[in-house]
Amino acid sequence: MEFQRRTVLAGAGSAFLAGCAGAGLAPAAPLAATRLPALKLDLDRLMKITVCLRPFRPAGPRLEAERLGEKLVVHNYGHGGAGWSLSWGCAAEAAALARASGAASFAVIGAGVIGLTSALRLVETGARVTIYADEFPAETRSARATGVWSPSSRIALEGAAPTGFAERWEQWARQAHAAHQRFVGLAGEPVEYMPQFDVAGGGGDGPSPRAQHDFLHLHRRVRDLDLPWRKLTGAENPFAPRAASGGQGMVFNVAGYADRLAQTFLLRGGRMIRRSFPDHAAVLSLAEPVIVNCMGYGARAIWGDAAMVPVRGQIGWLVPQRNARYSLYHGGANAISRRDGVVIQSYGPNEDFGYGDASEVPDRAETARALEILRRAYPDRHSALTATEA
């Protein structure tokens, strides 16, 4: 799951207001107030609630090769809230490490976005690749992601990341961004740009408390990749009298995107086998000489990575609303109107929200509070628009 606070640099749409103000190409004109249908933010449209544990490592993702007996293991996990965003860049490095072994066949463990992209990068080189996973793509934690371009979200802690990490991260981000853009305009819109609005106010009384964990924020290094945001004035502000800013942002329609990755992998000769592993010894018993470990949060138990911390994130899924295709950020909550549903999420008073919480039990009250907050973003005049929506 990928998100980060509106007040922190980048990623969950509104997060880069300050950083993007002068960068990139001019955005498409924001939707005029009379052309912006209100999102239907009602509990009776709630399809499901899903919870994801982001695999956060204070030192950043583990992407390295390790020799274990006769096997070479390439680790590629621990991407925090940036898994979808960084996937292709990390996959390229993981595939290069695996291919340097000289082997011709490879096992990839995990069918989330990191596993799928790593397997695809390998199979594109002509290798024989098998994905082994207890959960197939639609069942993974990756399938419960917010689905926005957020390459710096919960990526590491200040002081814990190794020397040179920022430069390495930037290479991942730029490679991944270029790869994502190749999916824009394809059937089903696996990746698309959509209007995003950050509406002021609604944040409660007083300033937000300071987070206890000092997360590393790197998005400024790649802000040239983002289209600019600007304040909306006059009739172009659909949320007046509240102040608002807007622009265009990259969104991943996760269900369709993951399905396309899986189908492409299989069409190129890859295999996918459902298999669970009680421990890393079971993984090492596979026939393939090189194993690419893309287990995400599962690596904490299977590979004994005690440094990994769960960061809980919950999404409420509303019925898709095709006539209102935009994202809304307001008061510590967001609504992303994707093609597979309107994604509702709270991101809390600061980045500590969900940190260290390993509960995957859905909390309906959390989603109800987020909906109540988001409804306040709209002026009264939107009630008429809501009533006439298709």
Mark residue 248 as left, alpha or beta (left: phi above 0; alpha: psi -120 to 50; beta: remaining): beta
pLDDT of residue 10: 33
pTM: 0.88
Please give the structure tokens belonging to residue 308: 């990994």
Q: Which residues pair with 54 in a beta bridge?
A: 311
Lowest-confidence region among 6-10, 112-116, 185-189, 347-351: 6-10
> Percent of the chain scored above 70 by pLDDT?
87
Residue 388 confidence (pLDDT) above 70: no
Tens-digit pLDDT profile for residues 234-288: 888 999 999 999 999 999 999 999 999 999 999 999 999 999 999 999 999 999 9
> Percent of the chain scored above 90 by pLDDT?
82
Lowest-confidence region among 102-106, 143-147, 174-178: 143-147
pLDDT of residue 12: 36
Question: Which pLDDT band, with edges at 50, 70 and 90, does 387 fall under?
Answer: very low
Q: Can you list the positions of beta strands (E) in 175-232? A: 191-199, 230-231
Domain definitions of the chain by residue range = 14-37+58-307
Kindly state the average pLDDT of the residues 82-86: 97
Kindly state the average pLDDT of the residues 126-143: 96
**DSSP conformational letter for 60:** -
Rounded Cα gap, residues 273 and 109, in angstroms: 10
**Core vs surface per residue 174-199: b (16+ CB within 10 A) or e:** bbbbebbeebeeeeebbbbbbbbbbb
Three-state SS for 293-334 is ECCHHHHHHHCCCCCCEEEEEEEEEECCCCCCCCEEEECCEE
Question: Which pLDDT band, with edges at 50, 70 and 90, does 204 fall under?
Answer: low
pLDDT of residue 203: 61
| Mean pLDDT score across all residues of the chain | 88
Residue 74 confidence (pLDDT) above 70: yes
Tens-digit pLDDT profile for residues 291-344: 999 999 999 999 999 999 999 999 999 999 999 999 999 999 999 999 999 999
Kindly state the average pLDDT of the residues 212-239: 93
pLDDT of residue 210: 84
Q: Can you list the positions of beta strands (E) in the chain? A: 46-56, 62-68, 71-77, 105-109, 128-133, 191-199, 230-231, 244-252, 271-274, 290-293, 309-318, 327-330, 333-338, 341-346
Residue 227 confidence (pLDDT) above 60: yes
